Structure 1
Amino acid sequence: MADLHILREHGLGLMEARKIAFKWAEHAEEEFGMACTYEEGKAADEVSFTRSGVQGTLSVTKDRFELNAKLGFLVGAFKARIESEIVKNLDDLLTPRPPAKTQMARKK
């Protein structure tokens, strides 16, 4: 078995972090076929996820995300790729996006 541990600190607060965790869980379900369960708490939330060969949790607090997962024997062979995909997805969600520019209609 291979273990994954990913930690990301942020300054979003729990409400914004919760929104990102929901998006992460939706992505994990759609992209990787994970079954995710989301539990909200007062100071922390936890996303439990599982599928054949993988089980773990994503803990969400006002200042960090912490993912712990166990990969089964066969899935463990792809640990580096899985870890890089999770890191990329989480980092993409945590990267602030500039506000969308609106274009004003021009009169002709």
Structure 2
Amino acid sequence: MATVDITREHNLGKEEARARAQKMADKLAQKLDAKCTWEGDNLSFKRSGADGCIEVREDLVRVTVKLGMMLTPMAGMVKGEIEKSLDKYLS
């Protein structure tokens, strides 16, 4: 199993960052058939072979994804896609 862990700083404030995290999660849910749920300021998502969390803070967003055995070889690609999404939604 592999874990992808990415942190990005932002100056959007927690509420705006949370709204953008929701947009990112909506896209993820649509594209990957993932189930997403908020618990406080953490957005958990789960799909077959992967699960993770988007943690939203006042000045940063942290994305952690645990990949199952079948997706582990794609960890580099998954990391790149998450980085692109964070750059898009947090800028």
TM-score normalised according to structure 2 size:
0.94
- How far 1:24 moved relative to its partner? 1.0
CA distance in 2, matches of 1:92, 1:7: 14
Amino acid at match of 2:89: L
Unaligned runs of 5+ in 1: 96-108
Secondary structure of the corresponding residue to residue 11 of structure 2: coil
| Structure 1 match to 2:10 | 10
Inter-partner Cα distance in structure 2 for 1:68 and 1:94? 16
Query: Structure 1 CA distance, aligned partners of 2:22 and 2:77?
Result: 23
Q: Structure 1 length as normaliser, TM-score? A: 0.80
How far did 1:25 drift?
A: 0.9
Note the residue ranges of structure 2 that are not aligned, 5 or more in a row.
Answer: none
Report the count of equivalent residues.
91
Correspondence for 1:57: 53
Between 1 and 2, higher relative CO (CA 8 Å, sep ≥ 6) is seen in 2
Matched letter for residue 37 of structure 1 = T
Match of 1:82 among 61, 78, 83: 78
What is the identity percentage for the equivalent residue pairs of Structure 1 and Structure 2?
38
Aligned to 2:29: 29
Max radius of gyration: which structure? 1
| Equivalent position to 1:72, from 68, 75, 81 | 68
User: By how many angstroms is 1:33 displaced?
Assistant: 1.3
- Which AA in structure 1 matches 2:71? V
Match of 1:39 in 2: 39
